[in-house]
Amino acid sequence: MARYVVDVMPKPEILDPQGKAVLGALPRLGFQDVTDVRQGKRFELELDGEASPERLEEVRKMAETLLSNPVIEDFEVHVADHPAPVEESAHEPTPAEEPAPTEEPIADADESTADREPVQE
């Protein structure tokens, strides 16, 4: 299993209203000297097999086809520095954090891992 990263950014000449909103909020929180903020997206994709130039090229195609819109966005792809995380089952919980011996809550906990986007319907 190898992990690939696609970074998508609005093209420099395209207005970025979300970045502007963040730029406006920072001074109000006491962070001074910020002159510009651009907001983009980061995708992490896991593919079977070892990382290879061929797979990276495939990820590039995904980025071109779906993950970015070349009219308004630029993207970069690379193989993640760190490998895909080990399965949750490999983690040996301490007695204090041992979950209740029912199946349901464990499944829920697995669903809400920290590296997922907190987007809810």
Partner 1 sequence: MKVGVVTFPGSLDDVDAARAVRAGGHEAVALWHGDADLRGVDAVILPGGFSYGDYLRCGAISRFAPVMTEVIVAAGRGMPVLGICNGFQILCESHLLPGALIRNDHRKFVCRDQRIRVENNRTAWTSAYAEGAEITIPLKNGEGGFVADQATLDMLEGEGRVVFRYLDDNPNGSLHDIAGITNAVGNVVGLMPHPEHAIESLCGPGTDGLGFFSGLAAVS
Q: For binding to partner 1 (CB under 8 A), which residues are involved?
A: 10, 13-15, 17-18, 20-21, 66-67, 69, 71-72, 119, 121
Closest to partner 1 by CB, 14 or 84: 14
In the complex, the smallest distance separating the C-beta of residue 66 from partner 1, rounded to whole angstroms, is: 7
For residues 3 and 45, the answer to whether their CB atoms sit within 8 Å is yes
Residue 46 main-chain phi, psi, to 5 deg: -105, 130
H-helix segments, 1-119: 17-28, 53-62, 103-111
In the complex, the smallest distance separating the C-beta of residue 35 from partner 1, rounded to whole angstroms, is: 19
Closest to partner 1 by CB, 97 or 121: 121
Closest to partner 1 by CB, 87 or 117: 117
In the complex, the smallest distance separating the C-beta of residue 72 from partner 1, rounded to whole angstroms, is: 5
Q: Measuring CA to CA, how many Å separate 93 from each of 79, 96, 98?
A: 30, 8, 6
